[in-house]
Amino acid sequence: MARSTVRTEITGKVWKVTATAGQSLAEDDPIVILESMKMEIPVPAPVACKVIEVLVAEGDAVTEGDVIAHIEG
């Protein structure tokens, strides 16, 4: 199982963290939900995976391309 990183594709604020370390996710399951452009925008798991670490907390500001989680899968 390859380790990889998940990055944001939009600048905004972390509204909710929906996944925790150790959790198994299906492809497209949200890891965090950002608030940007007055929208709730999920950052989804790119593949079916296990979450190793979520690097952001609710209220954090993120910029396009920031790493928000490490996953394995």
Partner 1 sequence: MAFDRQREEFEARRQRALAMGSSRRLAERKAAGILNARERVDSLLDAGSFIEAGLLATSARPDMRDKSPADGVVSGFGRIDGRHVGVNAADFTTLGSSSAEIHGKKQHYVRETSRRNGMPLVNLMECAGGRIPDIMGAAGIGRAGEGSRYTHPRTHPWAAAVLGLTYGGGAFTCINSDFVVMRKGAVLAVSSSNVTSVAIAEDMDPEALGGWRLHSEVTGFVDSVVDSDGEAIAQVRAFLSYMPDNASLPPPASATFEEAPGARALDTLVPESRAKVYDIRNVIRAIADRDTVFPLKERFAKVAVTALGRIRGRTVGFIASNPMFKGGALDPDACDKITSFIVLCDSFNIPLVFLADTPGFLVGAESEKRRLPGKIMNFMAALEMSTVPKIALVLRKSYGQAYLNMGGGKADVTATWFSGDISFMDPAVAVNVVHGVKPGEQPEQYGRLLEEVSAGTTAYELAAPFMAQMVIDPNQTRDFLAGMLEVLSRRMTNGIGEHRLSAWPPAF
Residue 33 CA from chain centroid, whole number = 7
Q: Which is nearer to partner 1, 11 or 23 (CB)?
A: 11
Q: Which is nearer to partner 1, 10 or 67 (CB)?
A: 10
- Distance of closest approach, residue 7 Cβ to partner 1, in angstroms: 13
Please name the residue that has the structure tokens 């609710």.
58
- Give, in order, the Cα–Cα distances in Å from 10 to each of 5, 26, 42: 16, 22, 10
Q: According to CB under 8 A, which residues from 14 to 73 bind partner 1?
A: 36-42, 63-64
Q: Which is nearer to partner 1, 64 or 72 (CB)?
A: 64
